[in-house]
Structure 1
Amino acid sequence: MEFQTLQLTQEGRVATVWLNRPDVRNAFDETAIAELTRVFDMLDERTDVRAVVLAAHGQAFCAGADLNWMKKMAGYSHAENLDDAGRLARMLQSIYRCSKPVVARIQGDCYAGGVGLAAACDVVVAGEGVKFCLSETRLGLIPATISPYVVKALGAQASRRFFLTAEIIPAAEAHRLGFVHELAPADALDERVAGIVRALVAASPNAVREAKRLVQDVAGRSIDDALVNDTVVRIADIRASNEGREGIQSFLEKRKPSWCQ
């Protein structure tokens, strides 16, 4: 699979999707959006991939929208804007709904749509000097398409402030707010990401997939009879699955489960 804006590498069971437009600080345009959608749809189906890292070459993770793309958007009709925003929404959904766990490796600046990319991932590891910014209101816009993911990851109260003010969010503050799972010195960023990836690959692939879906489905729901019954069915299903039985059996026999071999 060839790309103009990305690089795809794989080491063992871990695939890394690299944003590869360092000359424009990895800002995305319609080509990058299409390629990100395509690569995550493909990785979703790959049986030899157990985890995905979303990373970026260069000094910045992602500066948001490409300036030339923004110039074109300025002349779009309402219908063209709907189509364009729909493609961006589909790209974010392809990351969020990917059955493989996705770890964001963030260095440098992460602005606007770049914040959306990070928020769509399952785990966010950022360098200590990273700056996040939801800068849309400075341009007369709003972070609408990325908002479902950012509000879930950042929280409604913090989103109220930073959606409106477009202030810089230092990495330490993003970590305090829970948006960033782990902070790392720049020279330890890859080591921290690798540690998380090792933990993901050591777990049952089916359980990781179902646990990811569990969080997405349960978050924000009322604890009513429907939700309780849903969780009862899920645990019964996973206990009866091949990997569920193998996991328990390997634990009792004090050996590694088959997915670690």
Structure 2
Amino acid sequence: MLKQIKEGHVKAERHNGVMTIEFFHPQSNSLPGAMLEAITHEIHGAGNDHDTKVIILQSGGERTFCAGASFSELLAIGTADQGLQFFSGFAHLINEMRKCPKFIIVRIQGRCVGGGVGIAAAADYAIAIEGADVKLSELAIGIGPFVVGPAVERKIGLSAFSSLAIDAAMWRDAEWARKRGLYVELHGTTTGMDESIARLANHLAHCNPEAMALLKQSLWKGTEHWDQLLLDRAAMSGKLVLSPFTRQAIEKFKKK
């Protein structure tokens, strides 16, 4: 299945029990609202598909896995309700990844910024390539990593999350991310990364689906309140994006 977005696409294809979901946007795989909704829809569908045993989530291109929120859509937000609606897209995606009964392997072939770090953190198993550096840039544009924060903190701990959130202008390299548990594996080549993903996906495709669903449920224990928490966080970001400081900061970033 291929769903065309205004710019870019989201496509899903199942082979031997493995559902591969790919998103692509020409602006460094940034995420407009329609793309967030499409990815969430595909994960939900795969989670309820009897013939899907495991999910691989990946992005197109080579340099950037995900640049986070679409700056164009952020600047188009005119009310707090519109802000809530946009940032709820990230909340719904993370919650869908969390509640999906199938394990989600995320392929990280390039840099992760903002919401991209959140997707990596919401993965059940993230496999990356050297050069897949990370940055939470939200504070630098006057917002804050509020929606993705719970997922990132859960994965790498409060101290590491704090360092990313506070020093929003600094990149941390992929090895930093691996040592703190954001990435499970780090590979020197795309071939090595893809071989490892294929091996794990094939193995999981032959495991007991009921056992995997119960294991995933146990691994995410204690996050049941995220359905409301992440929406509350989305409302915070939705209000902050309206401030003159934030709008000016986004304009500067967009011109770079």
Q: Residues 50-199 of structure 1 correspond to what in structure 2 (within 5 A)?
A: 50-59=53-62, 60-73=64-77, 76-166=78-168, 167-186=170-189, 187-199=191-203
Which residue number in structure 1 is paired with residue 237 of structure 2?
none
Report the aligned-residue RMSD.
1.6
Q: Is the 8 A contact 2:20 2:56 kept in 1?
A: yes
Which residue number in structure 2 is paired with residue 225 of structure 1?
none
Q: Is the 8 A contact 2:18 2:202 kept in 1?
A: no
For residue 51 of structure 2, give the secondary structure of its aligned residue in structure 1. coil
Which residue number in structure 1 is paired with residue 42 of structure 2?
39
What's the TM-score once normalised by structure 2's chain length?
Answer: 0.81
Which residue number in structure 1 is paired with residue 254 of structure 2?
none
Moved over 4 A (4+): none
Aligned amino acid, residue 49 of structure 1: T
For residue 61 of structure 1, give the secondary structure of its aligned residue in structure 2. strand
More RCO (CA 8 Å, sep 6+): 2
For residue 47 of structure 1, give the secondary structure of its aligned residue in structure 2. coil
Counterpart-to-counterpart distance in 2, 1:188 and 1:105: 12
Aligned amino acid, residue 63 of structure 1: A
The 1:139/1:80 distance shift into structure 2, 3 A limit, reads: same
What's the TM-score once normalised by structure 1's chain length?
Answer: 0.79
The 1:70/1:218 distance shift into structure 2, 3 A limit, reads: closer
Which residue number in structure 2 is paired with residue 202 of structure 1?
206
Deviation at 1:17, TM superposition (A): 0.6
The number of equivalent residue pairs is 217
Counterpart-to-counterpart distance in 2, 1:85 and 1:30: 8
Taking only the aligned residue pairs, the percentage that are identical comes to 26
Deviations 1:96-135 (A, max 9, x none): 2111100000011111101111111100000011111111
Counterpart-to-counterpart distance in 2, 1:109 and 1:14: 25
Counterpart-to-counterpart distance in 2, 1:28 and 1:86: 12
Provide structure 2 residue ranges, at least 5 long, that are not aligned to the other structure.
224-256
Rg comparison, structure with higher value: 1
For residue 58 of structure 1, give the secondary structure of its aligned residue in structure 2. coil
Counterpart-to-counterpart distance in 1, 2:95 and 2:52: 19
Deviation at 1:84, TM superposition (A): 2.3
For residue 68 of structure 1, give the secondary structure of its aligned residue in structure 2. helix
Provide structure 1 residue ranges, at least 5 long, that are not aligned to the other structure.
220-261
Counterpart-to-counterpart distance in 2, 1:114 and 1:99: 22
Counterpart-to-counterpart distance in 2, 1:158 and 1:173: 10
Counterpart-to-counterpart distance in 1, 2:105 and 2:10: 16
Q: Bigger CA drift: 149-158 or 2-11?
A: 2-11
Instruction: Choose between structure 1 and 2: higher helix proportion.
Output: 1
Which residue number in structure 2 is paired with residue 26 of structure 1?
29
For residue 3 of structure 1, give the secondary structure of its aligned residue in structure 2. strand
